[in-house]
Structure 1
Amino acid sequence: MRRLMLAVLLVLTGCSSGVDGGVGFTAVGLTATPEALATHGDTLVIGTRPSDHPELVTRTKDGALNNVKLTPATPYGREAHWYGITSDGTTITGVGGERGGAHGNVRWSAWTGDTGQIAEKPQGFSTFGGYGAGELIGPVRTAKGPLIIGTWQSAKAGLDIAAWTYAADTWTRQPSAGTVLESSQELLRFPLAVTPNGDGALVVGWQIAKGAVSAAVWQFDGTTWTTAVLPDGDAALAARCWDGTCHVVGRGKGKLAWWTGPDWKKLTTPDVPVGDDQNLAAPVPVNGTPTLIVDHNGVKLVSEKDERPAEGLSGEVVAAEKVGDQVFVIAGGRLWRTAA
Structure 2
Amino acid sequence: MRRLTLAVLLVLTGCSSGGADDAVRFTAVDLSAPPEALAAHGDSLVIGTRPSDHPELVTRDKGGVIGNSRLTPASPYGREAHWYGITSDGTTITGVGGQRGGAHGNVRWSAWTGDARQITEKPQAFSTFGGYGAGELIGPVRTKRGPLIIGTWESAKAGLDIAVWTYAADTWTRQPSAGTVLESSQELLRFPLGVAPDGDGAIVTGWQIAKGVVSAAVWRFDGETWTTATLPDGDAALAARCWDGTCHVVGRSKGKLAWWSGPEWTRLAVPDVPVGDDQPLVAPVPVRGVPTLFVDHGGVRLVSEKDERPADGPSGEVVAAETVGGEVFVIAGGRLWRTS
TM-score (norm 1): 0.93
Work out whether 1:188 is the aligned partner of 2:189: yes
1:160-175 to 2 correspondences below 5 Å: 160-175=161-176
1:127 is paired with a residue of what secondary structure? helix
Following superposition, the deviation at residue 271 of structure 1 comes to 1.9
User: In structure 2, how many angstroms separate the alpha carbons of the residues matched to 1:338 and 1:303?
Assistant: 16
Following superposition, the deviation at residue 295 of structure 1 comes to 1.9
1:305 aligned partner, one-letter code: K
- Which deviations, in whole Å up to 9, do the C-alpha atoms of 1:145-178 show, x marking residues without a partner? 0000000000000000000000000000000000
Following superposition, the deviation at residue 17 of structure 1 comes to 6.9
Q: Which runs of 4+ in 1 moved over 4 A?
A: none
Number of positions where the alignment pairs a residue of Structure 1 with one of Structure 2: 323
Following superposition, the deviation at residue 275 of structure 1 comes to 1.1
Following superposition, the deviation at residue 274 of structure 1 comes to 1.2
User: In structure 2, how many angstroms separate the alpha carbons of the residues matched to 1:190 and 1:300?
Assistant: 29
Work out whether 1:219 is the aligned partner of 2:220: yes
The corresponding residue for 1:60 is 61
The corresponding residue for 1:24 is 25
% same residue = 82
User: In structure 1, how many angstroms separate the alpha carbons of the residues matched to 2:102 and 2:134?
Assistant: 14
Work out whether 1:157 is the aligned partner of 2:158: yes
Q: Work out whether residues 328 and 338 of structure 2, in 8 Å CA contact, stay in contact via their aligned partners in 1.
A: yes
User: In structure 2, how many angstroms separate the alpha carbons of the residues matched to 1:308 and 1:276?
Assistant: 25
The corresponding residue for 1:51 is 52
1:155 is paired with a residue of what secondary structure? coil
- Which deviations, in whole Å up to 9, do the C-alpha atoms of 1:289-324 show, x marking residues without a partner? 100111233321111232111121111110010001
* Higher relative contact order (Cα pairs below 8 Å, separated by 6+ residues): 2
Compare CA radii of gyration and give the structure with the larger one: 1
User: In structure 2, how many angstroms separate the alpha carbons of the residues matched to 1:237 and 1:116?
Assistant: 33
The corresponding residue for 2:112 is 111
1:271 is paired with a residue of what secondary structure? coil
The corresponding residue for 1:6 is none
User: In structure 2, how many angstroms separate the alpha carbons of the residues matched to 1:34 and 1:181?
Assistant: 32
User: In structure 2, how many angstroms separate the alpha carbons of the residues matched to 1:299 and 1:277?
Assistant: 20
Work out whether 1:69 is the aligned partner of 2:67: no
Q: Residues 92 and 123 of structure 1: is their aligned pair in 2 closer, same or farther, counting only changes over 3 Å? A: same
Following superposition, the deviation at residue 22 of structure 1 comes to 1.6
1:272-311 to 2 correspondences below 5 Å: 272-311=273-312
1:228-307 to 2 correspondences below 5 Å: 228-307=229-308
The corresponding residue for 1:335 is 336
Q: Work out whether residues 19 and 309 of structure 2, in 8 Å CA contact, stay in contact via their aligned partners in 1.
A: no
2:40 is paired with a residue of what secondary structure? strand
Following superposition, the deviation at residue 219 of structure 1 comes to 0.2
- Which deviations, in whole Å up to 9, do the C-alpha atoms of 1:14-63 show, x marking residues without a partner? xx978x71211111101101000000001000000000000000000111
1:134 aligned partner, one-letter code: G
1:123 is paired with a residue of what secondary structure? coil
5+ residue gaps, structure 2, are: 1-17
User: In structure 1, how many angstroms separate the alpha carbons of the residues matched to 2:136 and 2:326?
Assistant: 34
1:53 is paired with a residue of what secondary structure? coil
User: In structure 2, how many angstroms separate the alpha carbons of the residues matched to 1:250 and 1:296?
Assistant: 17
Q: Work out whether residues 273 and 296 of structure 1, in 8 Å CA contact, stay in contact via their aligned partners in 2.
A: no
RMSD: 1.1
Structure with the bigger percentage of helix: 1
The corresponding residue for 1:84 is 85
User: In structure 2, how many angstroms separate the alpha carbons of the residues matched to 1:17 and 1:75?
Assistant: 49
User: In structure 1, how many angstroms separate the alpha carbons of the residues matched to 2:219 and 2:307?
Assistant: 29
The corresponding residue for 1:9 is none
1:189 is paired with a residue of what secondary structure? strand
The corresponding residue for 1:5 is none
Q: Residues 105 and 17 of structure 1: is their aligned pair in 2 closer, same or farther, counting only changes over 3 Å? A: closer
User: In structure 1, how many angstroms separate the alpha carbons of the residues matched to 2:264 and 2:314?
Assistant: 34
1:205 aligned partner, one-letter code: G
1:95 aligned partner, one-letter code: V
1:118 is paired with a residue of what secondary structure? strand
